[in-house]
Amino acid sequence: MSTERLIVVGGDAAGMSAAAQAKRRNPGLEVVVFERGPHTSYSA
Ligand SMILES: Cc1cc2nc3c(=O)[nH]c(=O)nc-3n(C[C@H](O)[C@H](O)[C@H](O)COP(=O)(O)OP(=O)(O)OC[C@H]3O[C@@H](n4cnc5c(N)ncnc54)[C@H](O)[C@@H]3O)c2cc1C
């Protein structure tokens, strides 16, 4: 069985918004965010 996976590069406003929205629309989707810095946006 294959799992659909979304890779997001960048964990600031745009990246975390996209990741959260994708997960809301498709809870079964595996979402991975790569962020080069030490923090991500938490208000997306
Ligand atoms: C001085 C200043 C003040 C601002 N003040 C406000 C404000 O008061 N209110 C407001 O709403 N907006 C403000 N903005 C605008 C706001 O910061 C941007 O619109 C918003 O941060 C854009 O988010 P983004 O996710 O599109 O891009 P970015 O914030 O640029 O995020 C990109 C992310 O991707 C990461 N990244 C980049 N390359 C890689 C890589 N190769 N691998 C992994 N991670 C990577 C970066 O580390 C970063 O976290 C301000 C902007 C500036 C410059």
Expressed in angstroms and rounded, the spacing between residue 2 Cα and the centre of ligand 1 is 33
Expressed in angstroms and rounded, the spacing between residue 11 Cα and the centre of ligand 1 is 9
Give the model's pLDDT for residue 29. Answer: 96
Give the model's pLDDT for residue 42. Answer: 84
pTM, to two decimals: 0.82
The protein residue whose alpha carbon is closest to atom 35 in ligand 1 is 10
Q: Which atom of ligand 1 is nearest to the CA of 37?
A: 47
Give the model's pLDDT for residue 1. Answer: 63
Tokens found for residue 13: 């406003």
Cβ neighbours for 33, distance < 8 A, ≥ 6 positions apart:
8, 9, 10, 11, 15, 16, 19, 40
Q: What is the pLDDT of residues 1-44, one digit of tens each?
A: 668 999 999 999 999 999 999 999 999 999 999 999 999 998 75
Tokens found for residue 30: 């595996």
CB 32 within 8 A of CB 5: yes
